[in-house]
């Protein structure tokens, strides 16, 4: 076994193109989420298609610009390059495993794709070190096959929903949410993205648009309590409303199958209904106001990882 740091990989192969690597895990769900960023979109698209085709630990892939998100299962799984193995190369995620405070992802690549997993990805910011089973795995390009184990820090996912921080005359929840991100920056918590969630516009008791905000973070496990307290404190100290709601889900989960996901966009829910639904789904409320903002905050968590449809009316798609 040969172990190299990102700097040592860069010295051996020269600077390449990977710009980010981050792995979040959820042991309870047996799931992982891998975020990668490259200098250009084309390589990300090719990698995503090849990894999905090869199977292994990959459940699905999504591409936004030059970034890719892989949804994966924890564990080791057989891969199948199929005809790609002989004709056009291939790339696969064989497994995702938790080792204490670290996560090990196991990769295989053929031909040019082998350069990606053995020389490019191991240089990415976020990688701690890479293990090569043999010297042959350090020979990249041509028709060779490469195997590597990439070790990175263990992160977990936290989605925070915020609603009802404004009044008819002051404030905007999306502004509050983004200011919160800046105010709560800390080592061990990486901000991933923010989404605006269009709720039911027919709700009578609202400001104007009936829109809540979701903030997604990758967080080191020991930093999660501090992040949640920082967000709660900032929002409650700066809100213009007495009905502000703050909801939180810690883990990796798709809520699209929950009936309440549709209901927050199409029906008029009570706070009591929202609280019951949240409890059944493992979603917690951080706020101390117990106000109607909890409805929209729940909606933000339910839709916070659903893509552009979160911003639309129910059933709308780009």
pLDDT confidence bin for 86, thresholds 50/70/90: very low
Query: Quick check: 213 and 163 in contact, CB under 8 A?
Result: yes
Query: In the chain, pLDDT over 90 holds for what percent of residues?
Result: 78
Give DSSP secondary structure letters for 61-102.
EEEETTEEEEEEESEE--B--TTHHHHT-EEEEEEEEEETTE
Q: What is the pLDDT of residue 145?
A: 84
Residue 4, pLDDT above cutoff 90 = yes
Instruction: Produce one character per residue of 78-90: b if its CB has 16 or more CB atoms within 10 Å, e if not.
Output: ebebeebeeeebb
Question: Which candidate, 167, 178, 306, places its Cα nearest to that of 231?
Answer: 178
**SS3 for 200?**
coil
Q: Report how far residue 184's alpha carbon sits from residue 225's, in angstroms, rounded to the nearest whole number.
A: 12
Query: Quick check: 122 and 148 in contact, CB under 8 A?
Result: yes
The CATH number fitting domain 156-311, selected from 3.30.70.2200, 1.10.3720.10, 3.30.1490.20, 3.40.50.300: 3.30.70.2200
Residue range 62-75, pLDDT digits in tens? 999 999 999 999 99
Query: In the chain, pLDDT over 70 holds for what percent of residues?
Result: 96
pLDDT confidence bin for 85, thresholds 50/70/90: very low
Query: Quick check: 152 and 103 in contact, CB under 8 A?
Result: yes
Q: What is the pLDDT of residue 84?
A: 45
Q: What is the pLDDT of residue 168?
A: 75
Instruction: Produce one character per residue of 10-34: b if its CB has 16 or more CB atoms within 10 Å, e if not.
Output: eeebeebbbebbbbbbbeeeebbbb
Q: Which residue has the higher pLDDT, 18 or 206?
A: 18
Give DSSP secondary structure letters for 12-64.
HH---SEEEEEEEEETTTTEEEEEEEESSHHHHHHHHHHHHHHBTTEEEEEEE
**SS3 for 140?**
coil
Worst-scoring range by mean pLDDT, 45-59, 81-95, 198-212, 283-297?
81-95
Residue range 133-186, pLDDT digits in tens? 999 888 887 777 889 999 999 999 999 999 999 877 778 899 999 999 999 999
**SS3 for 247?**
strand
Q: What is the pLDDT of residue 82?
A: 57
Task: Give the start-to-end residue ranges of the domains of the chain.
Answer: 2-153, 156-311
How high does pLDDT run on average in the chain? 92
Instruction: Produce one character per residue of 226-246: b if its CB has 16 or more CB atoms within 10 Å, e if not.
Output: ebbebbbebbeeebbbebbbb
Residue 18, pLDDT above cutoff 80 = yes
pLDDT confidence bin for 271, thresholds 50/70/90: very high
Q: What is the pLDDT of residue 89?
A: 53
């Amino acid at each position: 076994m040969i172990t190299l740091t990102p700097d040592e990989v860069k010295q051996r192969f020269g600077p390449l193109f990977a710009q980010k690597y981050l792995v979040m895990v959820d042991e309870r769900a047996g799931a992982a989420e891998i975020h990668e960023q490259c200098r250009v979109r084309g390589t990300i698209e090719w990698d995503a298609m090849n990894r999905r085709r090869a199977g292994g630990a990959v459940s699905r892939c999504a591409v936004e610009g030059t970034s890719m998100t892989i949804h994966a299962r924890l564990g080791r799984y057989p891969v199948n390059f199929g005809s790609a193995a002989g004709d056009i190369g291939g790339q696969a995620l064989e497994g995702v495993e938790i080792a204490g405070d670290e996560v090990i992802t196991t990769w295989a690549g053929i031909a040019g794709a082998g350069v990606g997993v053995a020389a490019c990805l191991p240089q990415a910011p976020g990688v701690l070190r890479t293990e090569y089973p043999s010297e042959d795995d350090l020979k990249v390009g041509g028709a060779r096959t490469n195997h590597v184990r990439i070790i990175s820090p263990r992160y977990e996912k936290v989605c925070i929903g915020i609603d009802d921080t404004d009044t008819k005359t002051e404030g905007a929840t999306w502004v509050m949410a983004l200011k919160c991100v800046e105010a709560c920056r800390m080592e061990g918590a990486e901000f991933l993205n923010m989404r605006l969630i269009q709720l039911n516009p027919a709700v009578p008791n609202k400001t104007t648009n009936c829109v809540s905000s979701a903030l997604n973070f990758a967080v080191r496990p020991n930093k999660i309590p501090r992040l949640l307290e920082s967000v709660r404190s900032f929002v409650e100290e700066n809100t213009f409303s007495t009905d502000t709601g703050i909801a939180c889900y810690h883990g990796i989960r798709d809520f699209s199958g929950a009936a309440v996901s549709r209901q927050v966009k199409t029906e008029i829910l009570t706070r009591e209904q929202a609280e019951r639904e949240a409890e059944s789904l493992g979603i917690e409320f951080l706020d101390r106001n117990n106000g109607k903002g909890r409805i929209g905050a729940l909606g933000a968590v339910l839709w916070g990882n659903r893509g552009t449809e979160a911003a639309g009316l129910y059933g709308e798609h780009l």
